[in-house]
Amino acid sequence: MWRELAAAEASDHHALVEVLLVNEPYENVQTCAVDRLCGVLANAVAPGFVRTGMSQRADGTDETDTDAFRARYLESGRLPLGRGALPSEIFLAVAFLTDRANTCITGQSIKVDGALTMTF
């Protein structure tokens, strides 16, 4: 599933196109960078648990504050950072990849998951 986030912006010999890959594995980011978008940067951010309104339970508590979450991810050592990310922390990775100063990083998927995927 491809979703274009922003329209192309061109000036002189520079063009910026931001593309988000939603629910796509890492290999698809690489394919996009190499085969589909010649000359355009294609990257992804892969967040882990993020404390947002989507992680709120019906009783108003955050799912990362529950005993079940603590037992499964914190006490077992599966979330080495010891907490879910904040949206601002995910934003920093997105901002880095979409900054005009990024002229060469492409085909990458940056994990912002508190080392969660390293424990599987």
For residue range 63-79, what is the model confidence (pLDDT) as tens digits?
999 999 999 999 999 99
**Is 105 contained in some domain?**
yes
Residue 91, pLDDT > 80, answer yes
User: What does the chain come to in residues?
Assistant: 120
**Is 73 contained in some domain?**
no
**Is 71 contained in some domain?**
no
**Is 113 contained in some domain?**
yes
Q: Which domain holds residue 30?
A: 2-50+84-119
Q: Among the listed ranges 16-30, 31-45, 50-64, which one has the minimum average pLDDT value?
A: 16-30
Total structural domains within the chain: 1
CATH number for the domain harbouring residue 19 = 3.40.50.720
**Is 26 contained in some domain?**
yes
Does the reported pTM lie above 0.85?
no
